[in-house]
């Protein structure tokens, strides 16, 4: 069974190091496939195909407010994590399922679509754009992955109850003509992060038994 680790709210750099340790454990079969769930203090990350041009504020201004910027291995462009966003790091041996990164991305999207449906939100894909969307133009979940010898790491960021105003610091995922949303914004009510986590684990264990 897919193992769960809940790291709570953890600084991004610490989580990045701990992911690498888990990656080594899964690669060498010392530990089972693992889903990490956590939140991060506000931080900006830039993926392999990203550009600092998509950070809209001076780095000094961000640093003064405690917002770090990291360039990381994952695919994708610029994204932002902050408290109230559920971040998931599925560290999984794809060779036990399919050695196909595109398939894996679609599976992650499907997990999030099913999770949103549990709360009455209709999420969907937009052809050519990775992630999960609501309506025609509101991104609710970003996905950025890296694979090392067919073990996945990095993962998804689902906006549950986070401060969406902070996304004005960046061009999210490098897409200027679409916005972002959250579960609470769509539902216009409070959402329990613990309930979202519980549903998330159930769905991931169904997809990755």
Q: How many domains does the chain have?
A: 1
- Average pLDDT over every residue of 48-58: 91
Residue 43 phi, psi dihedral angles, 5° rounding: -155, 150
User: What does the pLDDT look like over 68-93, one tens digit per residue?
Assistant: 999 999 998 999 999 999 999 999 99
Which CATH number goes with the domain that contains 80? Answer: 3.30.930.10
**Listed range (15-19, 81-85, 126-130) with the worst mean pLDDT:** 126-130
Range of the domain at 181: 3-207
Output the pTM of the full model.
Answer: 0.96
**Listed range (9-23, 50-64, 151-165) with the worst mean pLDDT:** 50-64
Place of tokens 């995922």: 173
Positions marked active-site: 173
Place of tokens 């998931």: 88
Distance from C-alpha of 36 to C-alpha of 175, rounded to nearest angstrom: 27
| pLDDT value for 178 | 85
More confident residue, 1 or 132: 132
- Give the pairing type, strands 68-71 and 34-39: unpaired
């Amino acid at each position: 069974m897919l193992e769960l680790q809940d790291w709570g709210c953890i600084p991004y750099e610490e989580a990045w190091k701990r992911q690498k340790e888990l990656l080594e454990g899964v690669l060498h079969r010392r530990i089972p496939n693992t889903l990490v769930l956590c939140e991060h203090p506000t931080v900006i990350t830039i993926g392999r195909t990203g550009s600092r041009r998509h950070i809209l504020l001076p780095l000094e201004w961000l640093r003064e407010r405690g917002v770090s910027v990291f360039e990381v291995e994952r695919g994708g462009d610029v994204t932002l994590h902050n408290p109230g966003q559920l971040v998931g790091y599925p560290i999984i041996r794809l060779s036990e399922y399919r050695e196909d990164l595109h398939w894996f991305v679609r599976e992650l999207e499907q997990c999030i679509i099913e999770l949103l449906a549990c709360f009455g939100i209709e999420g969907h894909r937009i052809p050519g754009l990775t992630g999960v969307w609501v309506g025609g133009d509101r991104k609710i979940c970003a996905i950025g992955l890296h694979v090392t010898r067919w073990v996945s790491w990095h993962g998804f960021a689902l906006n549950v109850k986070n401060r969406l105003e902070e996304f004005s610091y960046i061009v999210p995922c490098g897409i200027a003509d679409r916005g972002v949303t959250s579960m609470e914004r769509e539902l216009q009510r409070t959402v329990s992060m613990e309930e979202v986590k519980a549903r998330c684990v159930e769905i991931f264990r169904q997809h990755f038994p």
